[in-house]
Amino acid sequence: MRVARFAGEDDPQFGVVGDEDGVPTIAVLKGDPLYAGFELTGQKVPLDDVRLLAPVIPRSKVVGVGRNYAAHAAELGNDVPERPLVFLKPNTTVVGPGDPVVHPDQSEDVQFEGELAVVIGRICKDVSAEDAPKVIFGYTVGNDVTARDLQHSDGQWARAKGFDTFCPLGPWIETNLDPADLRVSTELNGEQRQDGRTSDMVFSVADVIEYVSSFMTLLPGDVILTGTPEGVGRMVAGDRVSVTVEGIGTLTNQVVPHD
- Answer yes or no whether residue 160 interacts with Zn ion by CB under 5 A: no
Write the DSSP string, 131-155: GGGGGEEEEEEEE--EEHHHHHHHS
Q: Which stretch binds Zn ion (CB under 5 A): 17-25, 105-113, 116-124, 236-244?
A: 105-113
- Cβ proximity to Zn ion, 13 vs 226, nearer residue: 226
Instruction: Quote the longest CA-to-CA distance of the chain.
Output: 54
Round to whole Å and give the CA distance between 226 and 118. Answer: 8
Cα 214–85–69 angle (5° rounding)?
Answer: 120
Q: Which stretch binds Zn ion (CB under 5 A): 86-94, 142-150, 211-219, 239-247?
A: 142-150
Residue type, 115: E
Q: Which stretch binds Zn ion (CB under 5 A): 35-43, 49-57, 139-147, 199-207?
A: 139-147
DSSP assigned state of 181: G
DSSP run (H or E) holding 64 = strand 62-66
Q: How far is the CB of 226 from Zn ion (least distance, A)?
A: 8
Q: Which stretch binds Zn ion (CB under 5 A): 15-23, 73-81, 141-149, 163-171?
A: 141-149
Write the DSSP string, 153-192: HHSS-HHHHHSTT-EEEEEEEESS--GGG-EEEEEETTEE
Round to whole Å and give the CA distance between 15 and 214. Answer: 33
Binding-site member from 99, 113, 187, 210 for Zn ion (CB under 5 A) = 113
- Answer yes or no whether residue 144 interacts with Zn ion by CB under 5 A: yes
Binding-site member from 228, 242, 252, 253 for Zn ion (CB under 5 A) = 228
- Cβ proximity to Zn ion, 113 vs 222, nearer residue: 113
Residues β-bridged to residue 170: 141
Q: What share of the chain is helix, strand, coil (3-state, %, to 5)?
A: 20, 45, 35
- Answer yes or no whether residue 187 interacts with Zn ion by CB under 5 A: no
Q: Quick check: helix, strand or coil at residue 210?
A: helix
Round to whole Å and give the CA distance between 6 and 24. Answer: 14
Round to whole Å and give the CA distance between 227 and 91. Answer: 18
- Answer yes or no whether residue 243 interacts with Zn ion by CB under 5 A: no
Q: How far is the CB of 24 from Zn ion (least distance, A)?
A: 30
- Cβ proximity to Zn ion, 144 vs 174, nearer residue: 144
- Answer yes or no whether residue 198 interacts with Zn ion by CB under 5 A: no
- Cβ proximity to Zn ion, 12 vs 233, nearer residue: 233
User: Closest CB to Zn ion belongs to which residue?
Assistant: 144
Q: Which stretch binds Zn ion (CB under 5 A): 74-82, 126-134, 169-177, 221-229?
A: 221-229
Residues forming contacts to Zn ion in the complex (CB under 5 A) are: 113, 144, 228
